[in-house]
Amino acid sequence: MRAGPAGLPAGIVFRRLHTDAERALARSLLAATGRARSAGEEGGLAWFGLWDLAAAEEVALIGAAATRAVTAATAELCALAVAAELPWQGLGDRLLREVADILRAQGVERMVARVEADDGRGALLRDAGLVPLPARRRQELPPGAPYGTDDAGVWLSLEL
């Protein structure tokens, strides 16, 4: 992954989202960016967020991400969103780097993410170093897992 951009405010903090209220804020942020998840898709997710400690408003969550374990060595990035109206560039990249660091520390060897054709995350993920998931890696995943290229999107992978 590339180094983070200079000029991000120092009052931005990354941490896991533990409470139902925090996860509700994350779901609201995802919905505001057009990336809402259904309740059935949320089982087993680990939620993370970027918080603006200097926010004037009550809601200081400015970025959210969610992952889930696919195998002991692979985690899926299920959700990624950053508030669009913020003046700072690079928050999505920072959020993605922080999530990758957490996964690496937990012993995860690769992160995968599904990108739809019209998904704005594709450029961010590719810029961060994610590449199409190789066929040899698809064979290591549980049988029946929908990993690979299809009409609806492509799976990207990052070796951690």
Range of the domain at 34: 12-159
Task: Write down the pLDDT at residue 93.
Answer: 87
Q: What is the pTM of this model?
A: 0.80
Render pLDDT for 71-81 as a digit per residue (tens, 0 to 9): 889 998 988 88
CATH number of residue 80's parent domain = 3.40.630.30
| Domain membership flag for residue 80 | yes
| Domain membership flag for residue 4 | no
Query: Please, which residues bridge with residue 115 across strands?
Result: 154
- Tell whether the model's pLDDT for residue 160 goes beyond 80: yes
Task: Write down the pLDDT at residue 140.
Answer: 63
Task: Write down the pLDDT at residue 151.
Answer: 44
Q: Structurally, how many domains does the chain consist of?
A: 1
Render pLDDT for 48-62 as a digit per residue (tens, 0 to 9): 999 988 877 666 898
| Domain membership flag for residue 1 | no
pLDDT grade, residue 2 (50/70/90)? very low
Find where tokens 């560039």 sit. Answer: 89
- Tell whether the model's pLDDT for residue 47 goes beyond 80: yes
Round to whole Å and give the CA distance between 4 and 136: 30
| Domain membership flag for residue 2 | no
Instruction: For residue 129, give the nearest of 153, 93, 91 by alpha carbon.
Output: 93
